[in-house]
Amino acid sequence: MEIKETQEKVDKIIKQYGGYWEPLSMLARLVEEVGELSRELNIEYGGKKKKSESDGREIQKELADITFTILAIANALKIDLNKEINEKIEKDLQRNRGIYY
């Protein structure tokens, strides 16, 4: 699925449940989700110990939460992430040509 299609799907879901939050509120949500990912990575690969067997979340779920929130922010700000990511990849490929491949 293209990022554009995913953005459209996220848009429908958010509008169905009342619309977009203010950008700073969405940023706070993104930071919260990144914190949850950080905690899970620290449990899985770092020194943090689980308090119980049910403690912690799945890394892939946290990444999905972060992605959903980023798509929501892009939608609210009318940003075409498909276009922006393609431009970013091309820019990095040009800048790093000969370094990594």
**pLDDT value of position 47:** 87
**pLDDT value of position 101:** 53
How does pLDDT run across 6-47, given as a tens digit for each residue? Answer: 999 999 999 999 999 999 999 999 999 999 999 999 999 998
Cβ(69)–Cβ(29) under 8 Å?
yes
Locate 21 and state its tokens.
């939050």
**pLDDT value of position 93:** 87
How does pLDDT run across 46-99, given as a tens digit for each residue? Answer: 988 877 776 667 999 999 999 999 999 999 999 999 999 999 999 988 888 766
- For residue 26, give the amino acid letter: M
Q: How many Å apart are CA 76 and CA 70, to the nearest integer?
A: 10
CATH architecture of 3-95: Orthogonal Bundle (1.10)
Any idea where the domains of the chain sit in the sequence?
3-95
Locate 95 and state its tokens.
């800048």
Q: What DSSP element (H or E) covers 5? A: helix 3-16
**pLDDT value of position 2:** 87
**pLDDT value of position 18:** 96
| C-alpha closest to that of 27 among 72, 79, 78 | 72
Q: How many Å apart are CA 98 and CA 69, to the nearest integer?
A: 35
Angstrom CA distances, 79 to 39, 44, 57, 76, 93, stand at 29, 34, 30, 8, 22
The set of residues, in sequence order, having a beta carbon less than 8 Å from that of 68 and lying 6+ positions away, is 10
**pLDDT value of position 21:** 97
